[in-house]
Structure 1
């Protein structure tokens, strides 16, 4: 999967240097393709930290402060250059410090009716996460610290999130009245970071691989896509 993600980023019109955080360097030496990218300086590598959020923070610290950064995951098996470019174009136009990619659940279910995705129940949604995060400014990188706080409370993440939203916004969420825009505006004020979201029209953006069933599903989709390409005139 990591090969597909790297190839997608290399093909995108919006991406410059690519940094892979983890896995162990000795493991990567066994992968001829990635080893070639590393030795030819087409790919940077950093040792992973103790958790996903710590690894993200480690990667961000190694980049120039004013450099916009796209963060995604190696299990983003259906990621495409079109998704990356659309997301980053919208993120740049937003004027935000930090931008997250989401897709409406109905967009995902219309394209993939047999898949089940976790969704956030916000008015106008529900919305699925897409593992696409754009740190557009140095201020936006402060969100890595917030992510670590949420991760440290992984058994009770809502303790941190509701603390940032405040009681009124949390109540509106529980009543099904809180919109995505309202939630992000509240978080922006509380965290002193302008946070935005790009609602992606691509169902594939919400698909990642967390289980064997997910892997089989993704392989089926990729096989179907390949078959469709071979039949096109």
Structure 2
């Protein structure tokens, strides 16, 4: 286990490409691009970048998407690109493919991967995740948030959660790729991406029959699930349990957009 006092600075990779056409969240903005859709008056991507820049644990920031004409048409983004504060790559066909493109572009490790629709992300969440990722002995760390933590703050919000002993847990759109071997997980992610809204299929593909049965019986723990995924992928995968409800909230729907706007207004 590494000493947290020697915590390295992470490169950051922000996935900001549009996932599909006719996205209702993208339609809310003038650009027609989801990442540049405003929430409480500020585009989501601007918020995520400001959070990453405010973290003293984050160094170089690279975007994968949106397409360059959209970025150049946004004065804030154009200024960041012109000064070299961030760099940008063209998006691939899916988030997992974009992540793989970004990880192959950034040669140094460790790398934090997050998404442009993580509009409630705050520097303390980033720092908490990176601190615990650095102190692990894993190749990859993923952020998860207990569903009960999310519902305590957002009782009416519905989120996809994986039922594990001690959970359920919600994905939280932060991944730490700690070593060169970690790239294997991005390729694995690409294979299961289409099933991300069906936790049972994801578990079945990742864990195999025996572990899937334990999952369905509610007796598979988070640590056991990570061990089985590690064995399947061939890299050491671990999880950071986040104590922040907002960590599990991304803007995937109009109801998410309304929730995030309301939360930001209350925070202001």
Which TM-score band (shorter chain)? over 0.9
Aligned mates of 2:102, 2:198 — CA distance in 1: 26
Structure 1: runs of 5 or more not aligned: 227-233
CA spacing shift, 1:148–1:40, aligned 2, 3 Å: same
- Residues 1-233 of structure 1 correspond to what in structure 2 (within 5 A)? 1-64=44-107, 66-151=108-193, 161-226=203-268
2:17 equivalent in structure 1: none
Aligned length: 225
Aligned-residue RMSD, C-alpha: 1.6
Deviation at 1:151, TM superposition (A): 2.3
Task: Encode CA deviations 1:126-153: one digit per residue, 9 max, x unaligned.
Answer: 0011000110111111101101111256
Question: TM-score with structure 1 length normalisation?
Answer: 0.92
CA spacing shift, 1:112–1:153, aligned 2, 3 Å: closer
CA spacing shift, 1:212–1:154, aligned 2, 3 Å: closer
Structure 1 or 2: larger strand share? 2
Aligned mates of 1:31, 1:186 — CA distance in 2: 44
Residues 19, 43 of structure 1: 8 Å contact kept: yes
Aligned mates of 1:173, 1:18 — CA distance in 2: 37
Task: Encode CA deviations 1:156-203: one digit per residue, 9 max, x unaligned.
Answer: 785564244122111100111111110111111222200000000000
CA spacing shift, 1:153–1:111, aligned 2, 3 Å: closer
Residues 150, 161 of structure 1: 8 Å contact kept: no
Deviation at 1:217, TM superposition (A): 1.0
Residues 111, 178 of structure 2: 8 Å contact kept: yes
Structure 2: runs of 5 or more not aligned: 1-43
CA spacing shift, 1:159–1:113, aligned 2, 3 Å: closer
Deviation at 1:213, TM superposition (A): 1.4
